């Protein structure tokens, strides 16, 4: 059972300049499973992200055009590092890596990195959940199947950067639920009624300001606050524990080589240098549209988009040949 005293708590917020930030953040994560770090990033980093965000989330990508992937009606995303160097500065911030590796008691690898935009909805499309269970494997390529012993340690730590002041639709977390260690799996309905009640009572909405970074233990129950009446834009990163999984990424990160010059060896290692890939690129979430009813119709139109230009060139060629003769 969860500790009932957590029912009286709110999500704790730490200011980045706090002298003992590392120990304070680790202590809160051990107790609550979630903490918010404020004023960690310079305003220019956030404003630069804003500019790229407007560019990529204006239209969906079509035949190589700059844009987002539509993965469902309420959700669109892109690989985070398409937003350029500022996204790497957020994902590989040294203070954050230190916090993650301190609580994991292991080195870590950035396993996933996505920029995500949610529409407001009047229904729940992504219910509260945990990321792991006994026997969990990310894919058939994974050599590690999570055991009960593995779940005693934080296997994955997520971080979420708010791209705007966020209230409705914000990230939510059941305080202390990481201590259950996913005993009944990833879905709330699989837990006994009294445990479900405790989990629900301890859910807190992580309201935050633009630029706030939420750090959370993936073993706890979490998800977006839904239904919601506002759009939500976030950068979402997930880090896996090397001592459990080895150095693995879910899918190789799309990174511009010119954005890597400022990274040190440690950051490159966390980014996934020499890591193994768990999911083939064409099976990752961003490629989901290939299963959509409209995919074949849209691709047909794209394939024929330059047909009339082609015909025009043929006619020109024929006319020129006649003139020459």
Q: Judge whether 139 lies within some domain.
A: yes
203-221 pLDDT per residue, tens: 999 999 999 999 999 999 9
Q: Judge whether 73 lies within some domain.
A: yes
Cα separation, 218 vs 146, in Å, equals: 13
Q: Judge whether 312 lies within some domain.
A: no
- pLDDT over 70 for what percent of the chain? 97
Q: Judge whether 321 lies within some domain.
A: no
* Domain range for 153: 4-292
Q: Calculate the average pLDDT of the chain.
A: 94
Q: Judge whether 193 lies within some domain.
A: yes
Counting the structural domains of the chain, the total is 1
User: How is residue 207 annotated by DSSP?
Assistant: -
The pLDDT score that the predictor gives to residue 6 is 47
DSSP strand pairing (34-38 vs 13-15): parallel
The pLDDT score that the predictor gives to residue 66 is 96
Q: Judge whether 8 lies within some domain.
A: yes
- Residue the block writes with tokens 């490159």: 268
CATH number at residue 250: 2.60.120.620
Mean pLDDT computed over 156-169: 96
Q: Judge whether 72 lies within some domain.
A: yes
Q: Judge whether 132 lies within some domain.
A: yes
127 closest CA partner among 206, 189, 218: 189
Mean pLDDT computed over 73-90: 96
- pLDDT over 90 for what percent of the chain? 86
Find the length of the chain.
325
35 has pLDDT over 80: yes
322 has pLDDT over 90: no
DSSP string, 133-192: -TT--SSTT-S----TTGGGS--EEEEEEESS-B-TT-EEEETTGGGGTTTT-SBGGGS-
Q: Give backbone dihedrals phi and psi of 63, rounded to 5 degrees, phi first.
A: 50, 45
């Amino acid at each position: 059972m969860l500790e009932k005293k957590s029912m009286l708590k709110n999500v704790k917020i730490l200011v980045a300049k706090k002298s003992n930030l590392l120990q304070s953040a680790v202590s809160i994560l051990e107790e609550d499973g979630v903490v918010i770090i404020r004023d960690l990033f310079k305003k220019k980093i956030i404003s630069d992200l804003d500019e790229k965000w407007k560019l990529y989330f204006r239209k969906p990508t079509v035949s190589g055009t700059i844009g987002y992937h539509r993965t469902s009606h309420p959700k669109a995303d892109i690989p985070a590092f398409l937003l350029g160097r500022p996204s790497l500065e957020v994902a590989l911030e040294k203070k954050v890596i230190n916090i993650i590796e301190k609580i994991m008691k292991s080195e870590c690898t950035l396993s996933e990195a996505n920029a995500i935009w949610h529409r407001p909805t009047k229904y729940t499309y992504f219910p509260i959940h945990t990321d792991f269970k006994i026997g969990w494997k990310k894919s058939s390529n994974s050599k590690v199947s999570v055991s009960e012993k593995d779940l005693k340690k934080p296997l994955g730590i997520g971080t979420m950067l708010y791209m705007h002041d966020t209230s409705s639709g914000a990230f939510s977390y059941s305080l202390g639920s990481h201590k259950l260690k996913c005993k009944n799996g990833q879905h709330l309905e699989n837990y006994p009624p009294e445990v479900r009640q405790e989990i629900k009572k301890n859910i807190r909405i992580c309201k935050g300001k633009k630029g706030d970074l939420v750090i959370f233990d993936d073993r706890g129950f979490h998800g977006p606050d839904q239904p919601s009446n506002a759009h939500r834009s976030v950068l979402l990163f997930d880090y896996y524990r090397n001592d459990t999984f080895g150095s693995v990424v879910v899918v190789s990160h799309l990174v511009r080589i010119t954005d890597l010059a400022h990274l040190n060896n440690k950051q490159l290692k966390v980014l996934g240098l020499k890591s193994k890939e768990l999911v083939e690129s064409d099976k990752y979430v961003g490629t989901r549209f290939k299963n959509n009813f409209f995919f074949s119709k849209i691709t047909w139109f794209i394939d024929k988009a330059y047909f009339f230009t082609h015909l025009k060139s043929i006619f020109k060629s024929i006319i020129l040949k006649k003139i020459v003769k």
